[in-house]
Amino acid sequence: MILEKEKNWWQDAAVYQIYPKSFYDSNGDGYGDIEGIRQKLPYIKNLGVDVIWVCPFFKSPQADNGYDISDYFSVDERFGTMEDLRRLIDDCHAMGLKFVLDLVANHTSDEHPWFKKALSGDEKYMNYYYFKDPVDGHEPSNWASVFGGSAWEYVPRLDKYYLHLFHKKQPDLNWENKEVVDRVINIMQHWAQYGVDGFRLDAINYLYKEPDFPDVEPMPGSKYGFANQHYANKPKVNEHFARLNREVFAPYNMMTVAEVAYIEPETAREYCGKHQPELDMLYIFDLLNFDQDGFDKFSPLPFDVKAFKQTIFHWQKEMSEIGRLALFFSNHDQARSVSRFGDDSDQYRDLSAKMQGNAMYMLKGTPYIYQGEELGMTNLNYEKIEDFCDVEVMNTWQEKVIEGGEPAEKWLALFNSRSRDCGRSPMQWTDEANAGFTAGTPWQKVNSNYPKINAAAQEKDEKSTLNFYRKLLRIRKGLKSVQQGSVTPFDMESENTFCYSREYEGETVISVNNFKNVTCRVKLPRGSFRVLLSNYGDVAKVRGTVTLRPFECLTAIKE
């Protein structure tokens, strides 16, 4: 059922990202589910967002928490039924919300029928994937999996290896095989006809792999190396996007947001430039990598505010005349932003959570708010390795502690500050048992701070993070300078602040943000400004040079 949608209906939209497994459990089995999302739609609507992006809920063995799909046409019973999904989407539309589906097209589960036929030796289906002969008795190349170890898995019965850039239970689809593309397009068209309003395209810039899978420089202490230069953003990916756009995105007026890593602006312009609008938005994964050594999340560095803002403003400039940037500070693959980039102490948690929202969501682009971010939810403390669930943690633990003999305490501390499990603890709804997430036993540990940090408490507190986010989203929607205006950074030399002005047709708005627990002075652009948002809540007007208190932020409009 396709609702009539005006073209580019998403232009001034804000998106709320839902990780269904941890959102709300309606039937007490310990897992969040689709009916749970539907029951929380009033809460989502009241936040002031326009779109929900729901992470995968299709049939899956859950090796990568649903990003390993074994049936693209049915809902995994953990999450409910097809009737639940129908009701959720219909209720979204009835409430003026749009529904974006997380579509994993780079790989399937190894339990998908296509891969099962491939494993049986069926040549036709082996060509749906990348099966290669051993080279000198070992993997065809030394490519590393994103989750650690080799990107090749050996199948003794076939005496062949298959490629998996992620988990070994996530074999990569061969997009050079036209039949694969035809069948993925069929999946997308099915869901477009079903009535979803857009797609979040998972790891979609990896669709083309260089055919000889050349060896790469191994990572330190490993025989495998990151081969992203051989499989990310290759020219043929554009041809795939052009076909997807011709046959699915355009005909069904789908909003598309591509999750892309290792990308440069010139490639971004090809993907969603004015001349070839194949994709609407880019979700640039690497924009949060300013507190780590390169792409290794487990090699932490102090958060470099200056490097972070230089990159953000560089991308704001590069994308100013073309598609749209997804604006985000957290998601299901990252630790909680208030713990990672802010200060989650009792004294500063609320202030720094609000500051992060104010810094990010007055920029040019589309806000993507991750469930719980609007509450200032924090990382939690998993005492032992068994408390973790993520495959990336398990593989790293195996490699570094079990095989590498490194101290368990070191890696438990790293996993507690930077693993994907930090951002996947159940949503904190109330101060009741399990934070009101489930009446059963939660699949993942609930943060012990839920009596203090929960939606119910914040609903009643007009000064809460939740109500700050509501006000922020309402204000930004009404500011044409924020929706369409230019972006001009200021105070760039500061190691602590993140400041910029937005201008459009005589309207000037400034966003001023202190990222650190310090007091600092900021010289504002000329003029007097009326404050629209302030996390300290005691500032009405600003002009000239202002003194910012720890984690202080404000948004103000020129009088």
- Residues near ligand TEU (CB under 6 A) are 64, 67, 104, 146, 166, 202-203, 259, 261, 285, 295, 332-333
Q: Report the relative pairing of strands 131-132 and 160-163 from DSSP bridges.
A: antiparallel
259 is catalytic: yes
Out of 33, 68, 259, 421, the active site residue is 259
Structure tokens at 191: 């869901």
Using alpha carbons, select from 90, 130, 124, 79 the residue that is nearest to residue 108.
Answer: 130
202 is catalytic: yes
Nearer to ligand TEU, 194 or 262 (CB): 262
Minimum Å gap between C-beta 145 and ligand TEU is: 10
Nearer to ligand TEU, 205 or 534 (CB): 205
Using alpha carbons, select from 401, 407, 409, 446 the residue that is nearest to residue 428.
Answer: 446
Nearer to ligand TEU, 64 or 280 (CB): 64
CA distance to 294, 320, 389, 412, 432, per residue, from 425 (Å): 26, 35, 10, 16, 16
Out of 202, 280, 343, 374, the active site residue is 202
Given phi > 0 = left and psi -120 to 50 = alpha, else beta, which region is 544? left
Half-sphere exposure at residue 309, Cβ-oriented, CA atoms within 13 angstroms? 23
Using alpha carbons, select from 285, 269, 265 the residue that is nearest to residue 277.
Answer: 269
Give per-residue burial for 442-458: e unless 16+ CB within 10 Å, then b: bbbbbbebbeebbbebb
How many helices (H) and strands (E) the chain has is answered by 17, 21
Nearer to ligand TEU, 298 or 468 (CB): 298
CA distance to 165, 308, 357, 371, 407, per residue, from 320 (Å): 32, 18, 21, 28, 47
Provide the residue count of the chain: 559
Nearer to ligand TEU, 343 or 392 (CB): 392
Cα dihedral across residues 118, 122, 126, 128: positive or negative:
negative
Nearer to ligand TEU, 145 or 447 (CB): 145
Catalytic (active-site) positions: 202, 259
